[in-house]
Amino acid sequence: MKKSLFLYLFIIAVLMNVFTYKYFSSKEASEKKDAVSDSLPKAPSDTTSTGKMTYDSDIFALENNDRAQNYLYESAQVKDIPAFTEKVKQALFSFNDSPEGNKYTDQPKMGEQKYIINSIKLLNHRWIIANYSNGQLWGEVLLKYFVDEKGAISFEIMNSYLYPASLN
């Protein structure tokens, strides 16, 4: 009986060693694989990462900024944010009709080509980012905008950048 007890204990000890060895060797291989995969650049491939990129880009938008919306509700009595956004965009686009181009691009007219604003994004209750072009050159401008008590909208250029022409 003593012999069979030692035999069972020996078999259990051997099995424990085999399972322990297998566990630690597979753990080490898994850690090496993770280290290699972490060093490789990852491309966004699923809808979750695309959704996160969209969410990240929408952080800076008036439609998603509760503090800016509250400021507009209190100071300018703006009740409808989408309508207000459209009103600001139309006010800025109206300067595109000038024969000299939109004065808020901060670029003078070059020859026959005038600079006009193509697209606008309201970042919050105070800032706008817009891109502009004259058909050949492109640039971006950061604007401040103000709404007075009567609802009139005025603009001020903070900074403008014109990309250099490509050397193709």
**pLDDT tens digit sequence for 97-145:** 999 999 999 888 888 889 999 999 999 999 999 999 998 899 999 999 9
**pLDDT tens digit sequence for 44-61:** 555 556 666 666 667 788
Retrieve residue 38's tokens.
């972490």
**In a 3-state reduction of DSSP, which class is residue 30?**
helix
Q: What is the rounded radius of gyration, in angstroms, for the C-alpha atoms of the chain?
A: 31
**Among candidates 18, 16, 19, 22, which has minimal Cα distance to 8?**
16
**pLDDT tens digit sequence for 59-83:** 788 888 888 888 888 887 788 999 9
Burial class (CB in 10 A: 0-12, 13-18, 19+), 140: middle
**Among candidates 86, 76, 72, 71, which has minimal Cα distance to 151?**
76
User: Averaged over 141-152, what is the pLDDT?
Assistant: 90
